[in-house]
Amino acid sequence: MSARTWWTAVRLGITAAYLMAGWLLFTWDLGARSLLLGLFYCLLVAAISFPIFVEEHDAARRAHFPRVHVLGAYLLVLVYSMYVASFKVLWQIVRGRINPGVVHFRTRLRTDIARVALTSSITMTPGTITLLLDDDHLIVHWLDARTRHSRYAGSLIAGRFERLLRRVWA
């Protein structure tokens, strides 16, 4: 088996694995009929669409499968950050001290999935909305724009998320 054929099979497998995980999350059925039907449709859709999801030049298989234990810690930090930020936003609104602004900064994350997870985390945290992700540049609307300095703003908004996501998809 050539390296190109092997990588095509791996790309197909990665796509099918993600689709099957989605199937299980949506159906919550571990019956044999559901699993076989899900496997059939996941393989069918993966055979059609794997070039879209896993690019041919993207040879880092680790970038597609997260480290589960670090991902669990990341999700806990995300929920905690959302909880704390909601009270901070509420306090700012009650006090009437809102300083909105748009900040630009760069991320050091290298994989697309990690960047998308970062932008989604920023948007889910109250007080921040990701307006644009362009390669490694982010534009974020920030309700409490304490600074316009890009590196400092990036560390305040995404620092904790970025450190953990770098370990999740390393």
Query: Which token pair is 149?
Result: 């300095």
Map residue 134 onto helix, strand or coil: strand
pLDDT score, position 79: 94
pLDDT score, position 86: 93
The domain in which residue 33 lies consists of 3-59
pLDDT score, position 58: 59
Q: Which residues lie closer than 8 Å to 6 by C-beta, 6 or more apart? A: none
Half-sphere exposure of 87 (CA within 13 A, CB side): 5
Alpha carbon of residue 29 to chain centroid: 26
Same domain, 162 and 78: yes
Other beta carbons less than 10 A from residue 87's beta carbon:
10
Last residue of some domain: 13, 35, 59? Answer: 59
What are 43-63's pLDDT values in tens digits?
888 888 877 776 666 555 556
Same domain, 51 and 106: no
Distance CA 39, CA 31 (A): 12
CB-count exposure of residue 54 (10 Å: 0-12, 13-18, 19+): buried
Which positions of the chain have pLDDT values less than 50? none
Same domain, 91 and 157: yes
| Domain count for the chain | 2
Alpha carbon of residue 94 to chain centroid: 32
pLDDT score, position 81: 92
What are 90-118's pLDDT values in tens digits?
998 899 888 888 999 888 888 888 888 89
- With b for 16 or more beta-carbon neighbours within 10 A and e for fewer, the 118-128 pattern comes to bbebbeebbbb
Same domain, 54 and 80: no
